Structure 1
Amino acid sequence: MYKVIIVDDESVIRESLANLVDWPSLGFEVAARFRDGQEAIDYITKAPVDVILTDIKMTFVSGLDVAKYVHENKLPIKVVLISGYKEFEFARQAISYNVVHYLLKPTRLSEINRIFKDIKLQLDKEDQEKRQYQELIPILQEQFLFDLVMGAIRDEKEIKRRIALLGMDISLGNRCCVISVKLSQFEQYLNSQWEYGKDNFYTAIRNILRGQQDNVNYFPIYDMQDNQSVIQVLAVSSVDTSEDLLRQGVERHFDAVKQSIEGLFGLKISIDIHRIYENIIEMVADNKSIMHAVDFKNTGNAQAMDVEAIDKFSEPYKLFMSYISAGNIEAVRNLFDGFMAEIGGMDVRTVRDFVVKLFAMLSNKLEEIGVNMYIASDRFNYDDILKSKNIEAMRRWGRAVLDDITAYMSRYREASDKKVIQQAKQFMMKNYYKDISLEDVADYVFLSPVYFSRFFKEQTSENFVDYLISIRMKKAMELLAKPQYKIYDVASMVGYKSAKYFSRLFKDYTGFTPSEYRHNFLEGSAKADE
């Protein structure tokens, strides 16, 4: 039930509105009644209210004053005004305070019923959107951190706005660092011992890495390595501290993390603490993608890198595709500038190879969703980049082409989004029997896992894991109708190593154990044949 309060200085009208309207049938309950606007204002500062039904003119504080208070304090309360006056000035002020309805006395019950039915529909819709947003917040937080570390967001005001919007406990003025956490024998463990799927393992590891200790907040960021054994963790101090104290605190924290992971999974981890920054703004301004830095270090001498080493950058390339798909020009520009700054120390030929590789990959992936690069940007011409004699000219060319492509994708985003989701669903339908993860599907559609997680949820209203479970359970229901398959056979055929884990998921999905479902199905089929 939504809560409504009634405010009118005439007791007869106040009581009539409270008692003659069938509020429960409309989805409301009368939480309180007041004879003056000040009493209503005092009440809404202490108790939750969804709607205020108030007379417009009262002795001390008017209904318009109440509406003004709600509007100026940005309270999530809808205001309905009742008035015996038809003056335009009242209506004009009501509109300026976002009053949802303006009723004239005498008011018919049928009109009140109609209005509050409409309000309930609005509240239901807003409540659903709020729940969906709350479900998205962890994904949005992870994407924000990822964007931050990758240098896709650089404006300090925008960083502060996003931190406040997402309710994150991050201080921009305190020291921070990024830690690479490497799991040893990761793939062997997944293949031989872990029975609950890649995504559940990733979630378990990130939950261990996430948290706060010794005034330092730890935020795991998605794995960015091809072998999926390295996770980056952003550590941000919540107090003003020295570089040495932060490093010591991080080392103590990861000593405990090592013990937890080894005790739970029998896996060993190693950590590498990257440069400690004075604050987050310094980290963002460093023009060094942490993920790129890891790749360079693993490759060896950056100056000597050949074209084959470019393949190590497939993950950062996916970020370009993700931000282009989202129409985020600022993020695309920032990422490209950081990318060029990082490889700027190489010779012109090597930088040219990287840039050509980047745009060739983007062209191929855009072609898969029906976008022709030459149509999206009339400046896209490999001859221009091949003739470039200096790195700055390449940067200007790349920026201009990326601007064109991103703007083009913004105009045709709905069609391209549907195509990407279609590809993702087709991949899941073809591979549901394998131990596929969100990263596998994101890789197939050439998007960053962090971006794809949010994108999939927004487009389908389901998270990736639930959607995959739904595919598997529907297929399992088909297989259970065939007596020749044992329960453990069915579990394996729909992608689960553990029959026990499969049975639990199946019961959560259908309300029956696999055995109960099979018995009921076969019994029903036998009766139908009689």
Structure 2
Amino acid sequence: MLKLMIADDERMIRESISTLIDWKSLGIELIGTCSDGIEAYNMILDETPDIVLTDIRMPGLSGLDLVSRISQTDLSTQFIILSGFGEFEYAKQAMKYRVHHYLLKPCNEGQIIESMKDVVKEYYHRRAFQDLKDRQKALTDNLHHSVLANVINEGIFLQESSEREWNSYSGFMDFFNTGYEMCYLHYLEEEYLTSVLDQVSFYMKEHAPGITIYSLYVKNTLILFFESHQVSYETFDAFMKSLSLGELPIELQYIRTTFSNLSSLIETLTGKVRRYGMIYFMNGLQPVPICNYKNLIAKIEQLTTSLMQSKSPQADIFLEELKNTLDNINNLDFLKQAGSRMVIKFTTGNRYYSSLEATEYLMSLNEQTDIENLRSMLLEKILHILKRPYENPQSCSTFIEKVMQYVETNLNNPNLTLKWIAENYLFMNVDYVSARFMKETKQKFSNYLTTLRIQKAKQLLTKGNAEQIQMVAEQVGCGNNPQYFSQIFKKHTGMTPTAFIKKMNGGE
């Protein structure tokens, strides 16, 4: 579901638009409204909405200023501009920033809905063809598959779920805030499996490019699941019911169910496949067996937890027991699953390693074909991780500290966003990082960023004079825009930069 934000300085317009339309029926969630441009800019940094419906004229920052600043960041926010009559020049300026949706006030419900539908369509089309670096995409795809394999493993063989376990993986994928679809195809014999997966893959590339589809196969049943991306699935359902498989002795039975999030889907999925002896979690067209080693999984879970919570010499005992347990595993696929599980658990919350390090390691782990080399890799990694010093539980998580350090180092970057830091520096889910940042620092990222900029601006202004305001604006991330810097400074200090300099110089 796409996230929408509305910005307009007229309260009646904000409230009317926000309540007039059934946003969920359009596949949209309204996450907030703003009364001025600066408030809107901060909310965009914090909430990373997919769509912003904004008035052209607002105090602080105008709608065009807002579009201009966001266009310079890594955010892919789509804008719909609201304007009064006779402001065509604004429309032409908006087009420079690739804003193609421009509504004239007063506009009716139908016009807004049509614009929203167009933006939603453009969003998924653009998402499919984003110019991602090949390496980063490979890392992300590999990580998500490994994470899901471990989560499914837990659900099947441990037969238990808790908030703590979900939190172990929330830094790698979004398990709580995004809807998912799950499809069952019953009476599908194994000899037809590759043909069906081929057809489904081709359909998704044509009709939903950019959406990753995951699949499990148990005896005569294929289960597919993917992120919800449209309001109606009539066309997809019709396609699934008309799959061409030649002359089958039994007609396939197709069922699709919608889930509010990935965690509830996994709960249902694992409950249904748990009774089967062999389960295949498909990696593309390649079936990867989930082996039934229930007792070993439970034991590895217990030993990994004990190692994380213990210090020498007790930790040495648990380590030796874990080594013996791994030595007793002679199935290469299962050892990869067990190893991935341990690495992800050790790196939960980035206490010892960043998600990037974990992802790169998981890739090399999955490439191994020799079981002895695999064991050596795992033991070497575990020993290296355990040498890291124990961190004070009262301090911020390592990855939150990395966010803060990155902001301090790059404060002069006017396009700095939490989304870019999360996805390109930490390689983590931005919603998870945002929630943890808020929980650990007791403030939103935009507030932290602005506070830091004002603090540095005060230091620089104290040493300088009014003629240096433009230089200060550039050094604290306001770009070549001293007017915007002055607005932000006054909003947070109650005085202009010039007045602050005079005050610090004794009123001279």
> Normalising TM by the smaller chain, what interval?
0.3 to 0.5
Structure whose residues are more often helix by fraction: 1
TM-score by length of 1: 0.35
**Larger RCO (alpha carbons 8 Å, 6+ apart):** 2
TM-score by length of 2: 0.36
Larger Rg: 1
